[in-house]
Amino acid sequence: MSIKKLKEKYLLISKYNTAATLLEWDFETHMPKKAAEKRAEVIGEISSKAFEISISDEMGELLENADKEELNEVEKAIIKVGKKEYEKFKKIPKELFKEMNISSSKAQSAWEEAKLKNNFNIFKPYLEKVVALTKKMADYLGYEENRYDALLDLYEPGLKTSELRKVIEPLRSFLVEYLNKLDKGKKTNNSILKEYFPIEKQKELSLRALKLMKYDFDAGRMDISMHPFTTTIGPNDVRITTRYNEKDLNDSLYSTIHEGGHALYEQGIPEGFSGLPIGDGASMAIHESQSRFWENIIGRSLEFWKYFYNDLVDIFPEFKNHTPEEIFKAVNYVERSFIRTEADEVTYNLHIMLRFEIEEALINDKIKVEDLPKIWNEKMKEYLGVVPENDSEGVLQDVHWAHGSFGYFPSYMLGNLYSAQFYNKMKKDIPDLNEQISNGNFEIVLNWLREKIHSKGKMYEPGELVEIVTGEPLSSKYFIEYIENKFNKVYEL
């Protein structure tokens, strides 16, 4: 039976992936600093071993042969996803992969320097090289309508640029206008979250939030890293990290809840899928829908704070002077700002649209790398009404392009849209959802996500999944509804 052998091969690869992932996790969380230099080489060796097996001719034959056998639904999905991955890597010449690795590594160093020195020109030639290689890759991967489709498909399988535009356009108009509306609402601020909060207590608060969400600490753990992340080391081993800022309660708590959302997804994928091509989230954006769901739709709701208020006051008694409503307003403070990663729910997607439009134009030769700073600032002015004072806070703020991760940014926005669309369906399925949340019953939320989304792993493309779950294709309608509903309250409109 080829299907049996194929599964064994995937499980073998997954062992190397476990080792590589643990080496990376350790790099970010525990490794003594002098060990850094050599560690990258070890990660490289182990990862390339996994990659080598995954693109071997034997793997290709197993996939072909297994496809001819009598298979159940799950096995069919394994073949479908496995073949797509296999063919993708077979299409791109090894030399191009290598060139990309070297160029993106150099581009990252140049980006770091450029950002530090606030000088886009340092980054420019390296970015040009990465863009050129990315275009080559896209051409090898192939597309029908738009070269950018080939890249988008790497992160959001099946989604077309034209479809993405249809979702974006009404959303952009709404957001730009709605921001103006908020200016006329009742002023609010987030100063109560910017006092002094000892790290040990913040950790306690984060752990309580994770427990409430039913994150399984026997199948994961929480550590500290510079940039919070979630990583699946192996079956029953899904770890998150967070970070602490003594003068910002928002940062650690919502980083933790966000990563907790990713982790619940991973912990909810059936154990039998583990290590197989379907043993993943459906896409980057569906993954992001889970983290944003917990972070924003749950964690930044009034209902959440009605319940979690007691924990907050228990750990930080100074909040006795504030009501759950005040905290709700503080965590939903909206600001026209420069930095994507610090953006609120209303402005966040505008930051993404700007990046999507720029990268789509770059990949299709409609603009040049040298024009990026100018275009960036123009679009900032148009969408957000503010212009960064320097490129470090503008076009140089994100590392993604240095990595060659074109096509990735839309996932962040799509995650927000999916989460609102799922939320809309969840409210229909659980009519007293708000009350349940106010009472701290987060299990009902998790169970719904488990049944509808987590348990499916990567069996379906995101477009299929959203239809299965909500009965409709992706739409920005529910996100718009959600934003209006929430921020009208926050700003008393």
Q: Is 403 annotated as a binding residue?
A: no
Interaction of residue 45 with its own copies, rule CB under 8 A? yes
Active-site annotation holds for 481: no
Given 3, 6, 20, 150, the residue binding its own copies (CB under 8 A): 20
The whole-angstrom separation of Cα 295 and Cα 210 is: 11
270 binds its own copies (CB under 8 A): no
Among 478, 489, 491, which Cα is nearest to 167's?
478
Q: Which of 3, 6, 46, 150 binds its own copies (CB under 8 A)?
A: 46
Q: Does 33 bind its own copies (CB under 8 A)?
A: yes
Going from the C-alpha of 244 to that of each of 191, 203, 251, 442, the distances in angstroms are 17, 8, 7, 25
Q: x/- binding map, residues 303-342, to its own copies, per CB under 8 A?
A: ----------------------------------------
Q: Which two tokens stand for residue 42?
A: 């070890």
Q: What is the DSSP string of 109-129?
A: HHHHHHHHHT-HHHHHHHHHH
**Residue 410 burial class via C-beta count within 10 angstroms: exposed 0-12, middle 13-18, buried 19 and up:** buried
Q: Point out which span in 32-40, 141-149, 248-256, 455-463 binds its own copies (CB under 8 A).
A: 32-40
Distance from CA of residue 378 to its chain's centroid?
26
Residue 40 interacting with its own copies (CB under 8 A): no
288 is in an annotated binding site: yes
What residues between 215 and 254 interact with its own copies by CB under 8 A?
216-221, 233-237, 239
Can residue 207 be called a binding residue for its own copies (CB under 8 A)?
A: no
- Alpha-carbon torsion (406, 409, 410, 415), positive or negative: positive
What lies within 8 Å, CB to CB, of 414 at 6+ separation is 156, 159, 167, 285, 288, 289, 462, 474
Q: Which is nearer to its own copies, 37 or 70 (CB)?
A: 37
Q: Which is nearer to its own copies, 14 or 397 (CB)?
A: 14
Measured from the CB of residue 232, what is the shortest distance to its own copies in angstroms? 10
- What the block records as the tokens of 147 is 């070269």
* Cα torsion angle, 108, 36, 229, 193, sign: negative
Residue 223 DSSP label: E
Q: Verify binding: residue 18, its own copies, rule CB under 8 A.
A: yes
- Active-site annotation holder among 24, 75, 156, 259: 259
Residue 34 beta carbon to its own copies: minimum distance, rounded to whole angstroms: 4
Q: Which of 235, 270 has the CB closer to its own copies? A: 235
Binding-site size, its own copies (CB under 8 A): 35
| Contact flag: residue 39 with its own copies (CB under 8 A) | yes
How many of the other CB atoms lie within 10 Å of CB of 401? 28
For the chain, how many residues are written? 493
**Rule CB under 8 A: is residue 394 a binding residue for its own copies?**
no
Is 444 a binder of its own copies (CB under 8 A)?
no
Taking the C-alpha atoms of residue 212 and residue 210, their distance in angstroms, rounded to an integer, is 5
In the bound complex, what is the minimum distance in angstroms from residue 215's beta carbon to its own copies? Answer: 11
Please calculate the CA angle 265-267-269 and round it to the nearest 5 degrees: 70
Q: Does 31 bind its own copies (CB under 8 A)?
A: yes
Residues marked as catalytic: 259
In the complex, which residues of this chain contact its own copies (CB under 8 A)?
12, 15-16, 18-20, 22-23, 26, 30-35, 37-39, 41-42, 45-46, 49, 216-221, 233-237, 239
